[in-house]
Chain A
């Protein structure tokens, strides 16, 4: 079957760094997306990794290891507005995104 494993909730301090891990199992693989979803809102696109390695985009970086079925999202210089759910969504062989419940990130002052 297809599944995604992410921590349900994480807490971090404003200004700090946090890493959100994601392991996945899919039928085929065509890349992995990270989305941010604030409460009551739709997801917004953060990153897309299709090759192994680290992709950096401002304060956010995303890493992928296809052989390990593993990805992480790294958030630096945390701000209060980063409080949200972070969704790891791998794409299977049919180019469909597989969604889990995401990780709720709580930022404390």
Chain B
């Protein structure tokens, strides 16, 4: 149980284009999902908290208009990197909390999406 998928697993795009990453909870419902970014050998950095049916909460320094988050259903959140630049190249990982569990605090991670912007 508690499986989270991400798509795509790897994407290469040209500078200036937009990239959409999907995060799905496969066997549970997730009111809350999280989007992280991780650079090589660095710690996870929380970008935003995605809440189903409402606007995402962004961390300080994360541009809302650049990283668009949509959490339209209890099993799907999407992150769109708009007008991507080489400095956006990173490992993007989503996680989700199981809304139906008594212990709702555990975050289950998707496998991550490796983005390379040329």
Q: What is the total of A-B residue contacts with beta carbons within 8 Å? A: 41
CA distance A29 to B115 in the complex (A): 34
Residue positions of B touching A, CB distance < 8 A = 2, 41-46, 49, 93, 103, 105-112
Q: Which chain A residues (1-60) contact chain B, with CB distance < 8 Å?
A: 30-31, 33, 35, 41-45, 48
* Chain A residues within 8 Å of B, Cβ to Cβ: 30-31, 33, 35, 41-45, 48, 87, 91, 95-97, 99-102
- Once A45-B106, A91-B105 are accepted as A-B contacts, the answer to whether A101 and B93 lie under 8 Å apart by CB is no
B43 with A100: CB separation less than 8 A: yes
**Shortest beta-carbon distance from A90 to chain B in Å:** 11
A48 adjacent to B103 (CB under 8 Å): yes
Query: Please, which residues of chain B bring their CB within 8 A of the CB of A42?
Result: 93, 109-112
